[in-house]
Structure 1
Amino acid sequence: MIRFENVSLRYDNNTDVLQDINFELKPGSFHFLTGSSGAGKTSLLKLIFLAGKPSGGKVFLFNQDSASLPRAALPEIRRRIGVVFQEFRLLDHLTLYENVSLPLRVCNIKETQYRSNILELMNWVGLGDRVNAFPTTLSGGEQQRAAIARAVVGRPNVIIADEPTGNVDTEIGMRLMRLFAELNKQGTTIIIATHDKQLWEGSPYPRLHLEQGSLVSTYGDY
């Protein structure tokens, strides 16, 4: 489903961010992407959700070379990928309920078909009492949970999360990890970038480890 072949990424200042990355992730797998700050985790995730193109090598998404996809095909591919950003990217003029339901609304799905599911999901992430709140009134942790709910609400094929538990306490963090695990059991491919050792230590899921832009080791089957 996701394959990197000799992928490199260089920014305009000629700084190499990723070098010679090779891996393949099977559909329905769950992986942690680890490494210290600046190791290249976020840059690698951006290539997966089509926020950039590699400087060298190829990135294959759903068996298609991402660099050769026609512009008209990009929206459909992106709808198959749920993204949890570090900076949340909630829309301040929309309520929490409206933010979470946005991926469904843009697909012209009627509210009667998703309202109960969204309310259940918001209860699951601990925001059942904040459905009518606006993002500016929420804490960073609450905004993070809302961003996660928005990413998973459409049941995408792939969910990638960049430090998804970085702004929540341990209890909520574990609840969110259980949500990711449940989605994975239903067939969703999960990729979580984190530097939090507590998340992956002792986990049954394999891990890809980056150091200074290079994939230096893998742990577990992938």
Structure 2
Amino acid sequence: MPNPRILILGPPGAGKGTQSANLAEEYDVEHVTTGDALRNNKDMDISDMDTEYDTPREYMEAGDLVPDDVVNAIVEEALSEADGFVLDGYPRNLDQAEELEGMTDLDVILSLEVPREELVERLTGRRVCDDCGANYHVEFNPPEEEGVCDECGGELIQRDDDNEESVRNRLDVFEENTAPVIDHYENNESFVIIDGEQPPDEVWDDIETAVDARVE
């Protein structure tokens, strides 16, 4: 099987990170995220783009959003260097989706669907180790000792953006900006809806079946 080119879509809390890692390992492809791509290319010279700053680093250090044109260029660079990939976190809007069509062809487009209230429960229950970054959930994946990381003994905290108000706002932003991207791909023959409410192993089984059916 050739190294597939996979796009994974879904709201915050749908499990994109977990399943992207599975895809990268199973199919020996790069896991390309916008966050990683930006960090890896933060000193890229963008002075020819007529932007406010000359490198992505300057936007990040100023706390400003990196413009779409810059994000597009960085993602294109990352994809051009990858022998197969799973793209996670991009495109976030229709303009980026149109740019992506000019960068590469996609073999599989996966859309993880999870009901909104389930997403709220998942995200508000998430706890992160303040030392090593390991992830837990108060209900679905609790640590052996409450509030203590199994891996390093560090303190488990709730991220500031995992409170209910912030979570609902993030989901609203997703609905406004990124849900239209999913609509954009719905009629593509490579598009597959995955029931993300299932246990992670069952979600993975459906994903693997979908990829294997579309990549020879």
Q: Which has the higher contact order (CA 8 A, sep 6+)?
A: 1
Higher percent of residues as strand: 1
TM-score, normalising length: structure 1 = 0.28
From the two aligned structures, give the one with the greater helix fraction. Answer: 2
